[in-house]
Structure 1
Amino acid sequence: MQSLVDSTLSAPDKDDTSDAQLYAAIDLGSNSFHMIIARDIDGQMQVVDKHKEMVRLRAGLDENGYLDEVSFDGAISCLERFGQLLKGFPEEHVRAVGTNTLRNARNSKEFLRQAKEALGHEIQIIAGQEEARLIYLGVSHGLPSSDEQRLVMDIGGGSTEYIIGVGFEQRHLTSTEMGCVSVTQRYFKGDEITEREMVNAINACRIILRPHHMSLTRLGWNTAIGASGTIKAIGTLLQENGWSDDHITLDGMLKLKSYLETHGSISQAIYAGLKGLKNERVPVLAGGLAILIATFQELSIDKMQVSANALREGLIFDTLGRLYEADVRETSVTNMQNWLKIDTAQAQRVAYTALSFFQEVHEKWKLDKDSYNYPKLLKWAAQLHEAGMAISYKRYRHHSAYLIENSEMAGFTQQEKSMLAAMMLNHRGKFAREPFEALTAPHNESLVYLTVLLRLAVRIHRGRDMDVSNMETSNIRLQIENGTDLKLFFEAGWLAEHPLTQLDLEIEAERLKAMNFNLTFE
């Protein structure tokens, strides 16, 4: 069965000089959309193209939490332009993620549907912790090898991430609900800047950061690194106006703050001679400066260097890791199994049988033609389906679904966790249609098929008595006809020796009728 999973993860030929060597990462940020296109050269990323557009998605959220028409349409138009450069890219070579604003927008589902059509590839929403992990991965790959502990900070439009790590390994991840757009909108009027507004904004940011003060400072760091357009812009301003050398310092930022307050607005400061500020940064400078000053003050940072890498570079390296057998999601699943003390032998039995069924039916059900790796999703669902037993056997499938959908699992997007939760909730008992209906097409239909395979595997192994080492020789097969007629074949006499399994399958046949499947067995 491993051969099936391996075949879906096979890496491209590195000697191939075609477009199949190219990888793309798209970061749908709250302030700007970024796309990076790179090549893998002997394990090293070589950037061949970059694109950025100031979409200002966060600024388009109305008072009810919906993206307004202007920001919605502008973002889709941007993705159409990005999509023109991605034609011919293998699906598995493109990663596109949405961050804080798309996590919170109430019409994000409709946006994601249109965005996929515009870009030509699936958009995945990532949680703040996952965003922080990818940022650190991108930054660490752009730094010299070192054993020093690093604090990495990234200011987005709607959130700010803080990560502490050594080398490529992150040790602490924090995502906070403050960003250069949201803080600017709340505390500043237009480009006007007064001392009172700036003090209020800085203090508000310190309050947001304060609950994380102890966890961050207890770990400590040798070097602080900033990784966002806002931090880069502030670093450039300090250098070009003579307020710092090659690092960002608190003293330099306070001089910039005083200069802006003296002139009353950013536009007046530029007219008076402020150098180094691009027009695209004017609308969000005040909020970004308040966040950075608050961070320096709250965490007692002396100086900060600026990284050229950020989330999008992290996406590229994470994609390469998935293709070359270093998928962090596998580690996350193992960690969940250990944490929740899941019966891993049972999980292995169910996973093996579910994947063997997948191999027999995936072509007829057309489960191999999508951006998601369905065999892996099926395997992970099998490995974690009993997670809820750590809480209680009663309603454990509900507990399993809740735990997985709401846990921080490195590498997993919100969509992937929702898919796993839908399968776990429905791996036995009556079918609940709502979790599938909440998924976007084609997953709303494909996940039903995967869940049927999981249910059958769970029923067959309810006795927990099959020796895992002998499963390759067990001859249990599944055939489908007309899409919904399922037939299980067992070795002669097997069902007679397992009467409870036969009874379970009879019950399952009745359950499956509710989802318009017809199950028979012999």
Structure 2
Amino acid sequence: MGDMSTQGPQRQAPVTGPDRPAANRPQRGRWSNAHAFAALDLGTNNCRLLIARPQGEGFAVIDAFSRIVRLGEGLAASNRLSDAAIDRTLAALRICADKLKRRNVTLARSVATEACRRAENGAEFIARAYAETGIHLDIISAEEEARLAVLGCHALIEPGDDPALIFDIGGGSTELVLVDTAGPVPRVLDWHSAPWGVVSLTESAGGGDGREGRLAAYARMRALVAESVASFAARLPRDVGRPRLLGTSGTVTTLGSVHLGLSQYDRSAVDGLIVPAAAMRRISADLAGMAVNERAGLACIGHERADLVVAGCAILETIMDLWPAERIGIADRGIREGILRRLMGAARP
């Protein structure tokens, strides 16, 4: 894969809410009347949109949207996107299309990942989405998905000289990227895409009656993930003095929120958070033994994530097994931010 970008180092600007001025906004210059840029990431579980304008070396967010659509629900059994999942996703894309128009976005990129890569009717869905919403979705490869995620979040890697591992736990797959951070932008040393995400793994191995049944299901999930990353694990260097680990996904941001005991999700508290690996393992073990309604009762999990979070924990623990870092960095940024950096880099005068 090589370097993640041809651009120089960029610092993530403070993120501001819609229509709110950024703190310490620079003097108005050649970018003062810049058009808005947009990035849309349609995954197996979520539909996420980010609209931003350039600001300094980074960007300021002017609008955003995120909705759990579960596009890949049932895909493992049927190899097709279901009518219900398509309808939910199209409803979300219509909201995104409206935001793109209202924000006068002139340069955007929209991508679709594992669910559309895997589904027999993925191309049909892409065509229908364009016909009904005007949004053209590119089905990107797992390699490009990994590249964009790294470009979007690498600024949060802890300082160090040894290689770092960045991972993105999705709904239908998990991307792992080993990077060298010695230069101004990370250089990819190796990467791997595992065919398990929180949706696909839950549908294939989740469930279980009673605490013992739930823990047995958790063990099955761990075993499936371990098998799928075995070849990558065998290639990882063994002489790393201080392994560094950075995760970007709903799983790690959710577990970070649980670690902090937040009553509701707070991006400013979670993005950039460093959590001891032992604490993440304790939380994962606790959640794996809980019933769905118990997990749903936790403020930062709720009903939408209660049935999927355990699969995320199984993937996370397996990653910690193969790359035994003492601390885990958490990024609430990834593919969308990577897309925006590329778009803005290409458009700068």
TM-score, structure 2 as length reference: 0.78
Task: Give deviations 1:9-36, integer Å, cap 9, x for gaps.
Answer: xxxxx72644x52100000011101000
**In structure 2, how many angstroms separate the alpha carbons of the residues matched to 1:208 and 1:277?**
27
Say yes or no: does 1:89 pair with 2:105.
Answer: yes
Contact 2:45 2:170 (C-alpha < 8 Å) held by counterparts: yes
How well do the aligned residues superpose, as a CA RMSD in angstroms?
2.7
* Match among 43, 49, 60 for residue 35 of structure 1: 49
Distance in 1 between residues matched to 2:250 and 2:288, nearest whole Å: 22
Quick check: 1:228 aligned with 2:249?
A: yes
Distance of 1:41 and 1:35 partners within structure 2: 19
3-state secondary structure, aligned to 2:172: coil
Q: Is the 1:60–1:70 contact (alpha carbons within 8 Å) kept by the matching residues of 2? A: no
Counterpart of 2:328?
304
Equivalent position of 2:283 in the other structure: 256
SS in 2 for 1:154: strand
User: What is the alpha-carbon distance in structure 2 between the residues aligned to residue 235 and residue 85 of structure 1?
Assistant: 30
- 1:269 shift after superposition: 4.9
Q: Which has the higher helix share?
A: 1
Task: Quickly say closer, same or farther: Cα 1:256–1:147, change in 2 above 3 A.
Answer: closer
Match of 1:331 in 2: none
Describe how 1:345-424 pairs up with structure 2 within 5 A: none
CA–CA distance in 2 between the matches of 1:219 and 1:175?
23
Which of 146, 153, 165 is the aligned partner of 1:139? 153
Equivalent position to 2:193, from 171, 175, 179: 175
Aligned to 2:70: 56
2:290 is aligned with 1:290? no
Cα shift readout 1:231-279 (whole Å, capped 9, x = no counterpart): 11112223329xxxx644443244334434554x1313555xx553233
Q: How does 1:186-335 map to 2 (within 5 A)?
A: 186-189=204-207, 194-218=214-238, 220=240, 222-240=243-261, 247-263=274-290, 265-269=291-295, 274=298, 276-324=300-348
1: CA distance, partners of 2:162 / 2:277: 22
Contact 2:73 2:82 in 1 (8 A): no
Of residues 126, 129, 141 in structure 1, which corresponds to 2:140? 126
Which of 15, 27, 32 is equivalent to 2:30?
15
Does structure 1 retain, via aligned residues, the 8 Å contact 2:174–2:197? yes
Distance in 2 (alpha carbons) for counterparts of 1:198 and 1:156: 18
8 Å contact from structure 2 (residues 295, 306) kept in 1: no
Q: 1:305 to 1:105 in 2, by over 3 A?
A: same
Q: Which runs of 5+ in 1 are unaligned?
A: 1-13, 326-522
Amino acid at match of 1:135: A
| SS of residue matched to 1:85 | helix
Shift in CA distance, 191/127, structure 1 to aligned 2, threshold 3 Å? farther
Which amino acid counterpart does residue 294 of structure 2 have in structure 1? Answer: Q
CA contact (8 A) 2:37 2:52 kept: yes
Q: Secondary structure at the match of 1:224?
A: strand
The answer on whether the counterparts of 2:76 and 2:203 sit within 8 Å (CA) in structure 1 is no
Q: Cα–Cα, structure 1 residues 266 and 38, in superposed 2: closer, same or farther, change >3 Å?
A: same
Find the residue that maps to 2:77 and give its secondary structure.
coil
Q: Distance in 2 between matches of 1:323 and 1:191?
A: 55
Q: Which has the higher strand share?
A: 2
- How many residue pairs are counted as aligned between the two chains? 303
**Alignment CA distance shift 1:45-1:148 (3 Å):** farther
Distance of 1:123 and 1:197 partners within structure 2? 35
Change (3 A) 1:270 1:60: closer
Q: Tell me the distance in 2 between the aligned counterparts of 1:266 and 1:135.
A: 30
Q: Structure 1 residues 190 and 58 mapped into 2: Cα distance closer, same or farther (>3 Å)?
A: farther
Q: Post-superposition shift, 1:173? A: 2.4
Letter paired with 2:278: D
1:504 equivalent in structure 2: none
The CA deviation at 1:176 is: 1.4
Contiguous gaps of at least 5 residues in structure 2: 1-28, 263-272
Shift of 1:208: 1.0
User: What is the alpha-carbon distance in structure 2 between the residues aligned to residue 229 and residue 283 of structure 1?
Assistant: 13
Q: What is the CA-CA distance between 1:147 and the residue it aligns to?
A: 6.1
Contact 1:55 1:74 in 2 (8 A): yes
Q: From the superposition, tell whether residues 99 and 55 of structure 1 become closer, same or farther in structure 2 (CA, over 3 Å).
A: same
Identity fraction in percent: 26
Are 2:244 and 2:325, in contact at CA under 8 Å, matched by a contact in 1?
A: no
Distance 2:171 2:160 in 1: 30
Q: 1:234 to 1:53 in 2, by over 3 A?
A: same
Aligned to 1:24: 38
Distance 1:89 1:275 in 2: 35
Distance 1:254 1:136, change over 3 A: closer
Q: Name the TM-score, length of structure 1 as normaliser.
A: 0.54
Structure 1, residues 139-178: CA drift from partner, whole Å, max 9, x if none?
Answer: 0245688766422111000111111221422323221111
Preserved contact between residue 153 and residue 161 of structure 1 (Cα < 8 Å) = yes
SS of equivalent residue, structure 1 residue 58? coil
Q: 1:322: Cα distance to partner?
A: 2.8
Distance 2:56 2:37 in 1: 14
